[in-house]
Every structure is written in structure tokens, then in C-alpha cells.
Amino acid sequence: MTLTQLEYLLAVEKFGNFSEAAKSCFVTQPTLSMQISKLESELGVIIFKRDRLPIKPTEIGKKIIDQAKQIIKEKERLFVILQIEKGEFVGSLRIAVIPTVSSYLLPLFLKNFTQKYPKVELIIDEVTTDEVIKGLEDETFDLGIIALRSNHKNFITETLYYEPFVAFLPVDHKLMEKEKLSQEDLIVQDFLLLKEGHCLREQTLVVCKKTESSWIEKSNNVIFESGNLETIIKLVDQNFGMTLLPYLALNYIKDKKKLKQIKEFSEPVPKREIGFIYSNTFIKKHLLQSLKEEILKVIPEELISNKNGLIVH
């Protein structure tokens, strides 16, 4: 039995197909098939049912695969221990980031990180919160950067910063007369929302939760739900409604006229808690710590602690 055979085993279990598994392992299909057959002969059991696609493990195969995952994980842990002892930062980190964080956070720190740690490969995927969780569960991702919820059972979370929400209004909106807004000012029908699955949508609805009377009438006759916050910003300019923006988005609004359309909230300011989420089996803690340090260098100091804020989940 070899570690390579176990890696081939896990690839087949992941893809349910010998051909795709071989591609992912950068070997030919006959080579991969032969090695798995040799492993089955050595163990004296059949690991995979080969009569249909996708290929599924047998009952004993499932137990062997579970053990193989532990063995491969321990091999990775050994290499991480050696890296830490040598002060090396190498390898890959698969990161999932929600869109309303990635658009505004990644440009702030990514260049600095890659220059400081040139041997670390960051593989970044922009997905919704539910997709982050699923990816962590099936080990597609090592780490997520999301707006943390009140309960993330079975996962470890680390807070990075607390990001206030601001309102972005059409120029002739009645709330433009106010210096600061409160939750009671918000009419839920007045909002252009992201599609379901985006946490900013849910957070917007929570911020508007006290405006029960707002369900009586609509502010316009267009219901538009987008997966892109930048599209919504353009529609606000066309007077189709208002939206909430995360605070870091203000770094990318260069038009001074648009900045006048921004309204902050009075205390307690609604905020979201941005942080890491990862499995309790995650082993690349030194890479995570380095990533955290580079992120916190670019976050405004007033966002590091939750002062006079109301966390929205």
C-alpha cells in the first residue's frame, strides 16, 4: 500500500469516474485503474462498484476511504509541521469568499500578500454563504471569508472586523434631507435586493424588520433582484430604489456626487461581522494567520472592534 494509491482512491471517490480522477492526478486512466486494482488485491476486498456511473464505493470501501482521508490528512499535517519549523510559507490555500466581501476586500490586501508570500498559491472562489459551507463540508475549500451568522455549528470562526452598513439613496429621495438614518426610516419595498442566497439580502431585510407598516404600499412598480451589487448601484442612480452598501464599498466610489447620496446610520449602527470560517480539521494555521495579518493591516482601525454597533445576522 502506498500514499499514491490512497490519493488515487480519494480522487475516484470524489469524481465518481476513473477518467476524471486520472486527469485530476495527472496520470493516465490505465495507470490509476491498475494501482487501485493492486490495492484491492493487497487488501483482499472490492473498494468500488464498477457496474455503473457514477462509481460508488462498496460498504467496506467506504470504511477504507474514510481511513485513507485520515492518512492523507496526517501526511499533510507532517509537511505543515516541517514548514513551520523551517519558517517556510509554501503550498496552496483554497479560499471561498462571498461576493459582497470579495469585491471590496480582496483588492486591498491581495497584492501585498502575494508579494510577501510568493510561494503560497491562493485559489479563490466567489460563492454564496451556503456554497461556502457546503464546500467546507466536502473539503472543496480550506477556508471561507463570510459575514458570520449567530450559529456555525461544527465549524470554527474567527472575527476579522465589524463592517457598518450605509444607505445609498437616489438623489431626490425624501431621506436625503436627513443627516443620519435610523432603522425606523427604512421602507422595505424601497430597496433593490440581491437574489436569495446572498447574505446581504437577508441582512437588509433584518435591518428593515421594524418597518411592518411599510408592507402597505410600494415605492415603485419594478421588482428587481440582482446577483450583482454594482448593477443595483446603477439602478439606484436611475431612481428605482435604494440599497444598503457595506462600508468598504465606499473606497471604490470616486464620484463626489455619489458620495453625497450616502447616508450613515445613527447609533446603534447596523453592522455585519466579517470573519474566517473553517473546519476543526484545518491544519494550515500558519497560512491562515499570515492571511489574517495582511487583511487587518488594510482594515480601518474603527472597524476592528464593535463599538456602538448592532450586529446583523
CATH 3.40.190.10 location in the chain: 89-161+272-311, 163-270
Query: In this structure, which topology does domain 163-270 adopt according to CATH?
Result: D-Maltodextrin-Binding Protein; domain 2 (3.40.190)
**Tens digits of residue pLDDT in 42-74:** 999 999 998 888 999 999 999 999 999 889 888
Task: Say if residue 128 is exposed, middle or buried (CB neighbours under 10 Å; 0-12, 13-18, 19+).
Answer: buried
- The CATH 1.10.10.10 domain(s) of the chain lie at 3-85
Q: Which CATH architecture has domain 89-161+272-311?
A: 3-Layer(aba) Sandwich (3.40)
Query: Which CATH code fits 3-85?
Result: 1.10.10.10
- Contact in structure between 166 and 309 (CB atoms under 8 Å): no
Per-residue pLDDT, 227: 63
pLDDT at residue 221 is higher than 60:
no
- How far apart (Å, rounded) are the C-alpha atoms in residues 291 and 119? 13
Predicted local distance difference test score (pLDDT) of residue 39: 95
Give pLDDT tens digits for 251-308.
998 888 889 999 999 999 999 999 999 998 888 889 999 999 999 999 999 999 888 7
